């Protein structure tokens, strides 16, 4: 049995990238941040500009709901092969097919202009609704409806992201996989 399950391999051209991944920024609450996710060479590139004006402070990209949902129950975490910009990002798993429901979040740091492999164990994902932790719920890995990447001025529960600075950002992603 393979040790990883490739969810997205951006090293191969993704002609349907825009049909699967779309921006979801702080404009939903009046903010002015902007982002996009596009194929550039052998990477998927999440880039844009985060603004804290108008009570903003986050930019993200999210997949459309998977049908059927992903079953990651035989894996222990998510692995990202990426080149960052020194920012701390968040990765979300969404176990509901609701636009604004429960999610499970894990933060990760990047190194400026260096390729790294980041492993995010499922046991470290925190249950959240709009960046506020919730209790009494567990992650059902047998039904993951969507994935999301975010750059935010906040961590969880109102704490500030220690590596955040408003302005331009860029995260190159070669692959997203589940690992055992």
Where in the chain are the domains? 4-179
The pTM assigned to this predicted structure is 0.95
pLDDT of 40 strictly over 90: yes
Class of domain 4-179: mainly beta
Q: What is the pLDDT of residues 70-102, one digit of tens each?
A: 999 999 999 999 999 999 999 999 999 888 899
The band of 28, judged by pLDDT with boundaries at 50, 70 and 90, is confident
DSSP E strand boundaries for 4-141: 4-9, 21-23, 34-40, 43-50, 58-63, 77-83, 88-94, 103-109, 115-121, 126-129, 132-133
């Amino acid at each position: 049995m393979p040790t990883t399950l490739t969810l997205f391999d951006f090293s191969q051209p993704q002609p349907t990238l825009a049909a699967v991944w779309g921006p979801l920024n702080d404009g939903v609450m009046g903010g002015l941040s902007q982002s996009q996710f596009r194929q550039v060479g052998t990477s998927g590139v999440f880039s844009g500009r985060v603004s804290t004006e108008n009570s903003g402070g986050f930019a993200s990209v999210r997949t459309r709901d998977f049908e059927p949902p992903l079953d990651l129950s035989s894996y222990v975490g998510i692995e990202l092969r990426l080149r960052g910009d020194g920012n701390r990002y968040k990765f979300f798993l969404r176990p509901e097919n609701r636009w604004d429901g429960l999610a499970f979040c894990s933060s990760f740091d990047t190194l400026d202009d260096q390729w790294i492999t980041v492993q995010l164990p499922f046991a470290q994902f925190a249950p959240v609704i709009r960046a506020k932790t919730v209790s009494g719920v567990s992650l059902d890995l047998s039904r993951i409806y969507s994935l999301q990447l975010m750059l935010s001025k906040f961590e969880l529960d109102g704490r500030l992201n220690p590596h955040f600075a408003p302005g331009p950002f860029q995260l190159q992603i070669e692959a997203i996989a589940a690992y055992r």
